[in-house]
Each structure stands twice: as structure tokens, then as C-alpha cells.
């Protein structure tokens, strides 16, 4: 029916346009329309007097049922279009929930994702009625990799595939499904007691190098892994052991200066993209517990941080931080915070940081790389929207590390989260 009314609208529009060109055609058509209608009116209304009321009533009822029939048709049409649109959206995003009846799904994934009714019915404390397993909805997009990941012998050794797991995480498959196999173990011999462990070089033998280009730390030290990690595994030579205690530029703030700004004490913190954990190590020396968030991109960051006696968190920045609101006294982040993509993506991240930081807590943005002035302005505007107090704010320029002579812009700031009411 929708298409019928569309055609009528179209026709009258064309009729109006034509009338501008030729009034003769216009008059002729007007005449024919009027006479047709008059004939129709005559044909429908002509009937003996005593039957007229009955006919009118009959027509009204017929017309109403006709109209409601057509309305129902239109609604069905709209409903089916909406379903089609949703289906297209799902196909585009790959966000269809995993279809467990698909024969290509690994059996272990089916077992893991099965719902289980609680034996005693609804739990009065939580209100839940069944146990469900959680897996990232984007896992469906990487069905092949996921099947490979879930293909193992139950209670046997897992394939040596942590890098496959990371690949899935980077494609948004987070959280990963749990597995019922034993992860490959690496004997951790020669770990030092805390706090000696903070600065002792880590042996090549106690980390897993599978799936990585380098097979020893010496190889990693010769590489620039990221803006925040240049030789960051070298705790003895190089500059890693000077970070946060010795400034190399006005963008480098010292840990003791920042700690002095924290009212009410800084006791626990979160370091985003924290490289080899040096920020957490310096904080540990000051009795502040810091969790270091990092994946293992091109290097065994997590094992290295753990070997130093620090807390590594293996989580991508696409994932909501697994912490409750208002818990951290301090959040530290450097260029690793730059998640790329649309501005909204960065905004979601900033709001999540704001969420886990307590009122009065500090957000330390440390040498954040801004590719150009516009990026710096956008970032500044975003930060200002949060209403933080700027305790420190330094915009600096450095010659770029590639040596092209181009100046790069860096922003360092210590911001205090306000109390919002
Ligand atoms: C019902 O519709 C017909 C045309 O289909 C029309 O001639 C008639 O006047 C309508 N009746 C009422 C009561 O609206
Ligand atoms: C540091 O440098 C010295 C001298 O160049 C070298 O002997 C030593 O092995 C280096 N230490 C590390 C951990 O790289
Ligand atoms: C850290 O805590 C220990 C044990 O309570 C204490 O001896 C030490 O002085 C503290 N260090 C700092 C820098 O506060």
C-alpha cells in the first residue's frame, strides 16, 4: 500500500509541473478528472431513498475496515523494513550473536557458552536465574580464529598460542572464552625477592618468546617499540632507570613533585600503556601500588613486569576498565593513550578514565604526542570539558626522533578531578 500512495504523490507532482508548460493540457486533464469523479459520485450515491442510510452505514463500515486493513499492511511493511535494516547492520558490523547450531563452531565453545539454570531458581540477592558465560560479541567477526583457539584436547596441554589469543583481543574478541586446557608453562627460575626485583635484569629464559620477532631482550633493546618504550627493557644501561626521577625536558615531571600535589594521599594508581613497568616500579619504591595495563605487542611486557614484582594487566584499551567507579588516586598515561579512529573513540576512553579516578585524584598525562596543533587543540578542548583543575600544564616541542628536523608537539599535564554534584 505504501508504494501505491507514493505513486499517486509522484503523479500529481508531474501533473503540476506539466500544467506550467501547457495550460491547454492542464484544462483538458482537469476536466477529465472532474467528470470522472462526478460519474463516480453519481454511481456510488445513486440508490433508492429508503436504502440510503443502510448503504451509507454499510460503506462506512466497509471503508473503515478497508482503512484499518491498509494501516496494518503499512505497519507490517515498516516492521519488515526495520528487521531488514537491523540484519544489514548486523552483517556490516559482524555483531550477530554466535549461532551455536552452526556445525563449524568448535565443540568446546558450545560447551563453554551453554546456559545453566540455577538449581534453586532465582537467586534472591542478584536476581539472576541462570549462569551464563561471557565472550566478546565481536568474536563472531573472527569465527575462524576463534574456532582455531577453541580447538584443543580437554585436560591436555593448550597449543602454544598466546599470540593467537592476543590477535583475537586486538580484533575486539574480548573477553575471550575460557578454555579447559593447561597453558604452556615457563619455569621461572632465579626470580629475585621484592624490592630487589624492581631493577634486576630479567633472564631471557623466564619469558615466552613464541610468536615474537625477537627471541632475547638484547634484541628488543636495539628497537624502538613505541614512543613510550625505547630500550625500555634495559634497566641497567640507557635511560629507563632515569625516567620519572630525572627530567630530560620541561615535559618530564618528577614523581615526587606530582605526589606532593595529591591531596589526601596517593596510595593506588593505574598506568595505561605502561611499557616495562618502570612507572609502577618508581611508585612501588614510594609505597604506592600501581597496576600496569599493557598487551604484549612485539615484546613480553606482561611477563617482564611480573618478573619485576609488579602487577601487569593484560587488557586492550577497547575494553571497559575492570575497576569500580572512583577507586584510583592516580591514573598515569602517555602516548599509548592514543587509540586512533574517530574522536568519539577517544572520548569513551577518557570518560572511562574519569570514572575510575576518585574525586581529588590526579590524572597525569605524560608526554602525550600530538601530531599537530589541531590535535592538541582538540585534546585541550576535550580535557577542559571534564572541568579538571590544571595543576601542571606544559606544551613542549621536540625534534622528531627520526631526525627529520620536524618539530613534534608534546603535552604533559597533571589534572585534578573535581567533585561533581
Ligand atoms: C466509502 O468509499 C466510497 C469510495 O470507495 C465513497 O464513494 C463513499 O462516499 C465512502 N463512504 C463513506 C461513508 O465515507
Ligand atoms: C651495560 O653496559 C655494559 C658496558 O657496556 C655491559 O657490559 C653490560 O652487559 C650492559 N648491561 C646490560 C644489562 O645490558
Ligand atoms: C614504605 O613503607 C615502609 C614500610 O612501612 C617504610 O619503612 C618506608 O619508609 C616507606 N617508604 C616511603 C618512601 O614512604
Question: Does the C-beta of 240 come closer than 6 Å to ligand 2?
Answer: no
Measured in Å, how far apart are the chain's first and last C-alpha atoms? 53
Preceding omega of 129 cis (within 30 degrees of 0): no
- Which atom from ligand 2 is nearest to the alpha carbon of 218? 14
Q: Whose CA is nearest to atom 3 of ligand 2?
A: 237
- Confirm or reject CATH 3.40.50.150 for domain 196-416, answering yes or no: yes
Ligand 3 pocket, Cβ-based, cut-off 6 angstroms? 286-287
pLDDT in tens, 173-201: 999 999 999 999 999 999 999 999 999 99
Lowest mean pLDDT among 33-47, 61-75, 174-188, 241-255: 33-47
Angle at which helix 2-21 crosses helix 49-93, to 10 degrees, equals: 100
Percent of the chain whose predicted confidence (pLDDT) is above 90? 58
Average pLDDT over every residue of 384-403: 87
Structural domain boundaries in the chain: 4-98, 107-170, 196-416
Count of beta carbons in the 10 Å neighbourhood of residue 169: 20
Q: Could you tell me which residue, 30 or 79, shows the higher pLDDT?
A: 79
pLDDT category at 303 given cuts 50, 70, 90 is very high
Integer Cα distance of 318 and 321 in angstroms: 9
pLDDT of residue 219: 95
Band the pLDDT of 16: cuts 50, 70, 90. very low
Does the beta carbon of 237 lie inside 6 Å of ligand 2?
Answer: yes
Q: Is the pLDDT higher at 374 or at 27?
A: 374
Nearest CA to ligand 3 atom 6: 287
pLDDT at 42: 59
Which atom number of ligand 2 is nearest to the Cα of residue 235? 13
- 12 C-alpha to ligand 1 centroid (Å): 22
pLDDT at position 204 is 96
pLDDT score recorded for residue 360 = 95
Question: What three-state secondary structure class fits 226?
Answer: strand
Of 202, 218, 234, 236, the one to substitute when testing ligand 2's pocket (max ligand atoms within 8 A of C-beta) is 236
> Which ligand is located closest to the Cα atom of residue 60?
1
- Three cell numbers at 143? 569465527
DSSP letter string, 229-292? EESTT-SSSSSGGGTTTS-SSTT---HHHHHHH-TT---EEEEET-TTSHHHHHHHTTT-EEEE
With a CB cutoff of 8 Å and minimum separation 6, the contacts of 361 are 262, 266, 328, 329, 330, 331, 416, 417
Q: Is the CB of 87 under 6 A from ligand 1?
A: no
**Rounded CA gap, 295 and 176, in Å?**
14
At residue 38, the pLDDT reads: 63
Residues ≥6 apart with Cβ < 8 Å to 301: 275, 276, 277, 294, 295, 312
* Confidence grade of residue 119 (pLDDT, cut at 50, 70, 90): confident
Closest ligand 3 atom, residue 287 Cα: 1
- State whether the beta carbon of 389 lies less than 6 angstroms from ligand 1: no
| Ligand 1 within 6 A of CB of 45 | no
- R_g (Cα) of the chain, nearest Å: 34
State how far the alpha carbon of 414 is from the alpha carbons of 111, 262, 273, 334, 365, in Å: 48, 10, 17, 12, 6
> Where is pLDDT greater, at 352 or 41?
352
Angle among Cα 170, 187, 152 to the nearest 5 degrees reads: 50
Ligand with smallest separation from the Cα of 235 = 2
CA atoms within 13 A on the CB side of 179: 23
The answer, yes or no, to whether any atom of ligand 1 lies below 6 A from the CB of 399, is no
Candidate from 16-25, 122-131, 269-278, 290-299 with smallest mean pLDDT: 16-25
Nearest residue (CA) to ligand 3, atom 12? 286
1, pLDDT greater than 70: no
Cα 47 to averaged position of ligand 1 atoms, centre (Å): 14
* Ligand 1 site, residue 67, Cβ cutoff 6 A: no
Cβ of 60 less than 6 Å from ligand 1 = yes
Q: Which ligand is nearest to the CA of 259?
A: 3
Residue 417: name the closest of 245, 285, 266, 278 by CA: 266
Q: What is the pLDDT of residues 312-329, one digit of tens each?
A: 999 999 999 999 999 999
Q: How far is CA 324 from CA 126, 172, 174, 270, 357, in A?
A: 17, 22, 19, 13, 9
Q: How far is the CA of 193 from the centre of ligand 2 (A)?
A: 22
Per-residue pLDDT reduced to its tens digit, 368-391: 998 888 889 999 999 999 999 999
Q: Which ligand is nearest to the CA of 220?
A: 2
The burial class, CB within 10 Å (0-12 / 13-18 / 19+), for 55 is: middle
User: What is the β-pairing status of strands 289-293 and 311-313?
Assistant: parallel
Report whether residue 59 contacts ligand 1, using a CB cutoff of 6 Å: yes
Amino acid at each position: 500500500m505504501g508504494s501505491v500512495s507514493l505513486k499517486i504523490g509522484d503523479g500529481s507532482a508531474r501533473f503540476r509541473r506539466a500544467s506550467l508548460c501547457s495550460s491547454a493540457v492542464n484544462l483538458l486533464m482537469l476536466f477529465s478528472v472532474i467528470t470522472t469523479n462526478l460519474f463516480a459520485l453519481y454511481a456510488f450515491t445513486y440508490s433508492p431513498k429508503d436504502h440510503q442510510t443502510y448503504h451509507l452505514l454499510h460503506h462506512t463500515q466497509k471503508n473503515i475496515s478497508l482503512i484499518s486493513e491498509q494501516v496494518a499492511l503499512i505497519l507490517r511493511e515498516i516492521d519488515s523494513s526495520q528487521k531488514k535494516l537491523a540484519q544489514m547492520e548486523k552483517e556490516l558490523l559482524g555483531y550477530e550473536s554466535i549461532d551455536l547450531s552452526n556445525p563449524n563452531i568448535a565443540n568446546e565453545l558450545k560447551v563453554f557458552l551453554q546456559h545453566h539454570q540455577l538449581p534453586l531458581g532465582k537467586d534472591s540477592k542478584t536476581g539472576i536465574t541462570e549462569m551464563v558465560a561471557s565472550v566478546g560479541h565481536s568474536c563472531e567477526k573472527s569465527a575462524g580464529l576463534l574456532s582455531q583457539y577453541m580447538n584443543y584436547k580437554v585436560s591436555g596441554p593448550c597449543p602454544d598460542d598466546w599470540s593467537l589469543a592476543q590477535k583475537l583481543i586486538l580484533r575486539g574478541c574480548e573477553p575471550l572464552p575460557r578454555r579447559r586446557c593447561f597453558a604452556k608453562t615457563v619455569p621461572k627460575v632465579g626470580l629475585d625477592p621484592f624490592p630487589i626485583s624492581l631493577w634486576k635484569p630479567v633472564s631471557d629464559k623466564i619469558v615466552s618468546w613464541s610468536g615474537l620477532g625477537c627471541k632475547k631482550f638484547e634484541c628488543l633493546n636495539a628497537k624502538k617499540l613505541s614512543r613510550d618504550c625505547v630500550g625500555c627493557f634495559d634497566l641497567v644501561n640507557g635511560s629507563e632507570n632515569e625516567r620519572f626521577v630525572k627530567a630530560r625536558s620541561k615535559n618530564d615531571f618528577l614523581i615526587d613533585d606530582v605526589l606532593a600535589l595529591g591531596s589526601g594521599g596517593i596510595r593506588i594508581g593505574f598506568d595505561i600503556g605502561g611499557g616495562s613497568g618502570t612507572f609502577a616500579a618508581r611508585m612501588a619504591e614510594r609505597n604506592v601500588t600501581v597496576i600496569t595495563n599493557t598487551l604484549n605487542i612485539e615484546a613480553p611486557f606482561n611477563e617482564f613486569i611480573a618478573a619485576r614484582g609488579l602487577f601487569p594487566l593484560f587488557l586492550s584499551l577497547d575494553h571497559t576498565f575492570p575497576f569500580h567507579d572512583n577507586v584510583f588516586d592516580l591514573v598515569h598515561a602517555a602516548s599509548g593513550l592514543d587509540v586512533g579512529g574517530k574522536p568519539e573513540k577517544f572520548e569513551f576512553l577518557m570518560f572511562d578514565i574519569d570514572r575510575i579516578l576518585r574525586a581529588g585524584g590526579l590524572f597525569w598525562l605524560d608526554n602525550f604526542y600530538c601530531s599537530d596543533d589541531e590535535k592538541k587543540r582538540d585534546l585541550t578542548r576535550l580535557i577542559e570539558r571534564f572541568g579538571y583543575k590544571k595543576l601542571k600544564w606544559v606544551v613542549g616541542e621536540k625534534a622528531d626522533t627520526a631526525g627529520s628536523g620536524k618539530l613534534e608537539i608534546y603535552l604533559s599535564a597533571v589534572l585534578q578531578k573535581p567533585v561533581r554534584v
